Structure 1
Amino acid sequence: MTSSPLAPAWLAFPADANELPAPIWSRQAVRETSGVLSIGGVPAPELAARFGTPLYVVDEADARGRAREIRTAFETEAARVGTSAKVYYAGKAFLSIEVARWVAEEGLAIDTCSGGELAVALAAGVDPARIGLHGNNKSPAEIDRAVAAGVGVLVIDSAVEIGRIAEAAARHGRVQPVRLRVNSGVHAHTHDFLATAHEDQKFGVRLDQAAEFAAAIRAEPGLDFLGLHCHIGSQIFGSEGFAESAARLLEAHAGLLAGGPVPELNLGGGFGIAYTVADDPTPIAELAAAIVDSVAGECARLGIPIPALAFEPGRSVIGTAGTTLYEVGTVKPVLVTVPEEPGDGGSGATELVRTYVSVDGGMSDNARPALYGADYSVRLASRASAAEPVLVRLAGKHCESGDIVVYADYLPGDVEPGDLVAVPATGAYCWSLSSNYNYLGRPAVVAVRDGEAHLLVRRETENDLLARDAAYPGASR
């Protein structure tokens, strides 16, 4: 057989629909001799039987390894040019108490952006000095809690926060380190980036306002100005956008040195991963070298010292380490009418079959396809099959036509109800964006390593959902 005409241009017909392409799957994901998918030495059917489906499975060794590799890459490259680097794990990608401990044990600091995320990091026992807090609307209560806890840095996002943080610092007798979030005018996505004069967005302040804000921060005795902070986008391939943003920030950074020390420069995160065979993310060692070289070169041109650097990866730490298991409920062939292309000289439209495979989760456990049109991949998890591959669309069970988990991939043609399927690269922004739409409970999250599995976050039950309804007998109040 050949590719289905309904398949997107990037999706090739697979030589083997059981294969697990290395860039997409966690490093401990393999097919056992029986044909079942195993992650971290634990077979998928065993995980499903013990914890239920849908189920988020996190490969602990993979997550730890990627955290360590990213930290080592940036520390090594920074040392090569005579400076230092600090890597924060961006907790918004996925955060639990145990994951916070993993990344802290691997030498990463933790970036939080809400009181809840801060609470998780503190509950994990992370040194508050290695925690950052940012966000465009940090409440006075969140700021006060962060300052009281002794967090290492707060990121100032607007003028009102200068006074709020200064007041909290005075109240708790602290000098609070802060960064200033600025917009470089660079927005990057995958292999493209766009540079403009200003960005129309809710985060940060204009770069040409940096001197004004820095002066206001320095005028507060309870604040310690560390430097500028910028984030240019997500799922970025290549270093060009980071280099352009760094050049713009360093121009402002150089001007700020006249008013006092500016010891740091935070270039954010957004390093991309592979979700499909078409994705080609830049290896982290190569990315780190290119970014650090661009910073060093720009500092040499400006005649200024290279500041300490900071980065905030999230997806590139936890994304590929995660896999979601689902159980197939229905398999439905759907006739799709494809209009004749102009000039084909044919007899009219063609009818083709798209196979809809519906599973027991969907947009409540992975909102990214519905929100962003994000592409994912899928494979059979409970067995291997020699059946001819067919193009499938993996659909969720929600009452929405847009409830799609995987828009297009090939599965063996004998896929049937009761099969387990696995969607890789779901460690980032799946559990953290999950919801109770249609009153589905959020799935459990389990960690696997060396043939053992244990719970990170338990599954929500119907009783959990009803307990919040004030009219329910026994509701928690």
Structure 2
Amino acid sequence: MKLQGTSRINEQGHLEIGGKDTVELAASFGTPLFVYDTQMIRERAQAFHEAFRAQGVNYQIAYASKAFSCLAMLQLADELNLSLDVVSGGELYTALEAGFPMERVHMHGNNKAPEEIDMAVANGVGCFVVDNFHELKLLSKAAHSHSKTVNVMLRTTPGVEAHTHDYISTGQEDSKFGFDLSSGQGDEAVAEVLADQAMHLLGFHCHIGSQIFDTTGFVMAVEKLYSYIASWDETYGYAPEVVNVGGGFGIRYTEDDDPLAPGTYIEDVIEAVAREAKQRNLSMPEIWIEPGRSLVGEAGTTLYTLGSEKDIPGVRRYLSVDGGMTDNIRPALYEAAYEGIIANRADEPAKTNYAIAGKCCESGDMLMWDLPLPDAVAGDLLAVFSTGAYGYAMASNYNRVPRPPVVFVENEEARVVIQGESYADLIKLDQPLHAPVKA
């Protein structure tokens, strides 16, 4: 197994991340524990920046904070000169509390509440990625109320859908997101925004899928979108200042995954936009992207302590960990695959395939089905890799399990960025029917 980022096996045979021994991290902070390799995040962001600079175009890289959001993560994104996608009032509030520059915040969401829109307008959010006509009315009302002109990008569904390696050129019209182009919704939305003095049409947005390992779908989407941009230029004399191709850039979860370098994605997208714009005598727009998983996914590792074992002769050997679907719902949701090692015996060869079970009272609470490990015993430390995206972000208190702490590690230092929850935290919002009688 190839270790990523700053991870290595140290002289004690322990997994080390950011110069910190994971055995010591587990002893200090407990398990489950999310560990982020901060240097790896920095390097990923820099790779995207360098890819754009090499092409000589104007751009923005907006971190899709739904992948993992907390004060420290958003402050790190600001340090790395990233913009920021938020999809809720809660994510916007986190950005405000983190001191993130509002002019670099893009407000997403298919059902933005009036209160969320008003909050975003009042605080000077840089751009609204608008999904539907209902939102246009709410946004116009809020903009007029605050005597502001708001920047708008229309989210479109260009009819290109990515399923990792497969692309469908029809069918993505059936989506809860965005304005459908083939039915004329895009035409109507463009006309409505251009006619509203409280709105400035910045450009167009599309997002074709997730965990994408080639550039075919991005190029197809650009080509389809520009076929409509040409008609909007002819009808309204309008050409976009910005084209946003979304995110979805793939990462490595297992050895079967082979993601492209950031530069490959960026080069092919820019080439497609430049070609399409030139063919129609339109100016080259600014290019925006929205990486989330590809910035933080591989940088995250979850540490667990092994507990009970169940051996079914000739069938399967189960190992249970002290976490599970409460800190990583992805395997239960869509059979997401991961790799891992025994962190306290990382230099020992694998001998046995284990099924890694979570502790929740659900038969579907399984993290991995066939993980090769050394002969494991209760108390061993299991490290599961590439859990930095949609792990903590989707964590829950199912079975009243406290959510784990999160630490950033870099240059032999560990910093807690989210405290672990206590049992008291689980009931702090509860309201009893009557004063409890305690035994």
Specify the alignment match of 2:370 in structure 1: 408
- Residue 199 of structure 1 deviates from its aligned partner by 2.2
- Work out which of the residue numbers 207, 212, 219 in structure 2 matches 1:231: 207
User: Any conservation in 2 of the 1:189–1:237 contact (CA below 8 Å)?
Assistant: no
For structure 2, which runs of at least 5 residues remain unmatched after alignment?
Answer: none
Specify the alignment match of 2:198 in structure 1: 222
Say if 2:130 is the partner of 1:156.
Answer: yes
Question: Alpha carbons of 1:215 and 1:47: their partners in 2 closer, same or farther (altered >3 Å)?
Answer: same
- Mapped to 2, the partners of 1:21 and 1:404 lie a distance apart of 23
Specify the alignment match of 2:220 in structure 1: 244
Specify the alignment match of 1:312 in structure 2: 290
Aligned-partner SS, 1:281: coil
- Encode CA deviations 1:125-178: one digit per residue, 9 max, x unaligned: 111000010101000000001001001001111101112111111111211001
- Mapped to 2, the partners of 1:63 and 1:110 lie a distance apart of 15
User: Any conservation in 2 of the 1:393–1:406 contact (CA below 8 Å)?
Assistant: yes
Letter in 1 for 2:215: S
Specify the alignment match of 2:150 in structure 1: 176
Correspondences of 1:269-418 after superposition (within 5 Å): 269-335=247-313, 352-384=314-346, 386=348, 389-412=351-374, 414-418=375-379
User: Any conservation in 1 of the 2:248–2:293 contact (CA below 8 Å)?
Assistant: yes
Runs of 4+ in 1 over 6 A off after TM superposition: 472-475
User: Any conservation in 1 of the 2:74–2:95 contact (CA below 8 Å)?
Assistant: yes
- Mapped to 1, the partners of 2:433 and 2:409 lie a distance apart of 37
- Encode CA deviations 1:229-252: one digit per residue, 9 max, x unaligned: 111111111000000011111111
Letter in 2 for 1:422: A
Specify the alignment match of 1:21 in structure 2: 2
- Encode CA deviations 1:174-201: one digit per residue, 9 max, x unaligned: 1100111110111112222111055211
Specify the alignment match of 2:113 in structure 1: 139
Letter in 2 for 1:170: H
Say if 2:173 is the partner of 1:212.
Answer: no
Correspondences of 1:119-130 after superposition (within 5 Å): 119-130=93-104
| TM-score with structure 2 setting the length | 0.95
Say if 2:81 is the partner of 1:107.
Answer: yes
- Mapped to 2, the partners of 1:430 and 1:445 lie a distance apart of 11
Say if 2:416 is the partner of 1:442.
Answer: no
- Mapped to 1, the partners of 2:419 and 2:435 lie a distance apart of 21
- Mapped to 2, the partners of 1:382 and 1:89 lie a distance apart of 33
Aligned-partner SS, 1:306: coil
- Encode CA deviations 1:290-317: one digit per residue, 9 max, x unaligned: 1211222222333322211111000000
- Mapped to 2, the partners of 1:274 and 1:473 lie a distance apart of 51
Question: Alpha carbons of 1:325 and 1:249: their partners in 2 closer, same or farther (altered >3 Å)?
Answer: same
For structure 1, which runs of at least 5 residues remain unmatched after alignment?
Answer: 1-19, 336-351
Specify the alignment match of 2:50 in structure 1: 72
- Mapped to 1, the partners of 2:357 and 2:265 lie a distance apart of 35
- Mapped to 1, the partners of 2:434 and 2:254 lie a distance apart of 47
Question: Alpha carbons of 1:39 and 1:455: their partners in 2 closer, same or farther (altered >3 Å)?
Answer: same
Specify the alignment match of 1:89 in structure 2: 63
Question: Alpha carbons of 1:29 and 1:198: their partners in 2 closer, same or farther (altered >3 Å)?
Answer: closer
| TM-score with structure 1 setting the length | 0.88
- Work out which of the residue numbers 12, 15, 22 in structure 2 matches 1:44: 22
Question: Alpha carbons of 1:321 and 1:285: their partners in 2 closer, same or farther (altered >3 Å)?
Answer: same
- Encode CA deviations 1:47-86: one digit per residue, 9 max, x unaligned: 1111110000011111121112112213432x1xxx3111
Q: Percent identity?
A: 42
User: Any conservation in 2 of the 1:228–1:253 contact (CA below 8 Å)?
Assistant: no
- Mapped to 2, the partners of 1:163 and 1:388 lie a distance apart of 59
